[in-house]
Copies of this chain bind each other. A is one copy, B any other.
Amino acid sequence: MLKPESTIGILGGGQLGRMLAMAAARLGLRCHIYSPEADSCAFDVADAVTVAAYDDEAALARFAEAVDVVTYEFENVPAQTAAVLAAHREVQPDPQVLAKTQDRLIEKQAIAALGIATAPFRPVDSAIEAFAAAAALGVPAVLKTRRLGYDGKGQRMIGSADEAAMAFAALGEVPCILEGFVRFEREVSVVAARGVDGTVACFDLTENEHRDHILRRSIVPATASAALEQEAQRIAERIATAFDYVGVLAVEMFAVRDGAGEILVVNEIAPRVHNSGHWTIDGATVSQFEQHIRAVAGWPLGQPVRHGRVEMLNLIGSEVNDAARWLTAPGACVHLYRKGEARPGRKMGHITRILPG
């Protein structure tokens, strides 16, 4: 358990690091942000910063020595980076989790091994395997690179076995996974925090709408029966516990029609604070960012209470120019990330609305 006024080291200087640093500051903790980008938006609210590459081992060692615990805002931390940090300081969540979640195949296998439903999947390491996998799973399907990729990058929809082989070439002939397409009623997610003592605290089930593979809107509570919500939270808890995870993780799921009811199929895990949990800053007494900071600091998790119905809208690219009209909307909370140029697809900010009823 870190002493009051300790320093949290955060790898990554984007908006997630920025919101983590602000949550830490509420609790009187300092943050030291490590990022290769000199103009990282998280630097604005950090007590100390390091500008260095993720493979600069001397800088990583100095950073680790300067802080009391290390965490990260993104899941694609290179294994060697994590290893260098861990040699000097406690890293939470444990880097071995990254090894699981950085590879879509290993992640899916780990989830399936827990008896939790996923989309059907096959490893694909060649054009021939792509063809065969599509023939076996049926189409439509989605071919994804096993590593990297976010917001729809590194994936292709597949309409035929021939297309699968071509998509494998288009994705660069890197190791892939073919996933059967899941016909879902809606997308939901559970943001869960797990403390060092093994306690798990889940936020309410969140319903998510994507456009062009980017989250546009989250709404809480999700349209779901109490039983389905409990099942979703049990799934997140089982995964967090099986991974011996410390911190916040998000589990994205599909709600799929099954006779008269619905069942859940896990889509993917994000071993970090997650866009679908941004509503918790304004919509709950303790945010996902604070829960993550508490967990990695070894502090007890909070018991968040939600403020009624909550909606979160991302401001993507030029949508940030709409922020002005939200400034005067009753019950609206405006968040801007100081990201500079409003490039297409870039997450520039978000709006939280506390809705009546």
Interface residues of A (CB under 8 A from B): 4-5, 18, 21-22, 25-31, 43-47, 282, 285-286, 294, 299-303, 305, 307-308, 320, 323-324, 327-340, 349, 352, 354
- B354–A327 touching, CB < 8 Å: no
Closest to A301 in B: B328
- B340–A328 touching, CB < 8 Å: no
Inter-chain contacts of A339 with B (CB < 8 A): 28
Inter-chain contacts of A308 with B (CB < 8 A): 307
- B336–A28 touching, CB < 8 Å: yes
Distance between Cα atoms of A332 and B303 in the complex (Å): 8
Inter-chain contacts of A333 with B (CB < 8 A): 26, 285-286
CB A18 to nearest CB in B, in angstroms, measures 7
| Set B302, B330, B334: member contacting A328, Cβ < 8 A | B302
| Set B43, B46, B334: member contacting A26, Cβ < 8 A | B334
- B28–A354 touching, CB < 8 Å: no
Distance between Cα atoms of A332 and B305 in the complex (Å): 9
Q: Name 29 interchain pairs, CB-CB below 8 A, sorted by A.
A: A4-B320, A4-B323, A5-B338, A18-B25, A21-B45, A22-B25, A22-B26, A27-B334, A27-B336, A28-B335, A28-B336, A28-B338, A29-B338, A30-B44, A45-B45, A282-B285, A285-B331, A285-B332, A285-B354, A286-B333, A294-B327, A300-B324, A300-B327, A300-B328, A302-B328, A303-B331, A305-B330, A305-B354, A307-B308
CB A323 to nearest CB in B, in angstroms, measures 8
Inter-chain contacts of A30 with B (CB < 8 A): 44, 338
Distance between Cα atoms of A107 and B195 in the complex (Å): 52
- A25–B47 touching, CB < 8 Å: no
Inter-chain contacts of A28 with B (CB < 8 A): 335-339, 349
Distance between Cα atoms of A282 and B320 in the complex (Å): 25
CB A181 to nearest CB in B, in angstroms, measures 38
- B303–A330 touching, CB < 8 Å: yes
- B327–A302 touching, CB < 8 Å: yes
Distance between Cα atoms of A27 and B45 in the complex (Å): 12
Known: A5-B338, A285-B333. A44 touches B26 (CB 8 A): no
Closest to A21 in B: B45
**12 extra A-B contacts, CB within 8 A, seeds A44-B47, A299-B327:** A4-B323, A5-B336, A21-B45, A22-B25, A22-B45, A25-B44, A25-B338, A26-B333, A26-B334, A27-B335, A28-B349, A285-B331
- A335–B26 touching, CB < 8 Å: yes
Distance between Cα atoms of A302 and B333 in the complex (Å): 9
Distance between Cα atoms of A329 and B332 in the complex (Å): 27
Known: A25-B18, A354-B307. A340 touches B44 (CB 8 A): no
| Set B5, B305, B307, B336: member contacting A4, Cβ < 8 A | B336
Inter-chain contacts of A331 with B (CB < 8 A): 285, 303, 305
CB A22 to nearest CB in B, in angstroms, measures 6
Distance between Cα atoms of A126 and B43 in the complex (Å): 54
Distance between Cα atoms of A64 and B271 in the complex (Å): 43
Distance between Cα atoms of A352 and B286 in the complex (Å): 11
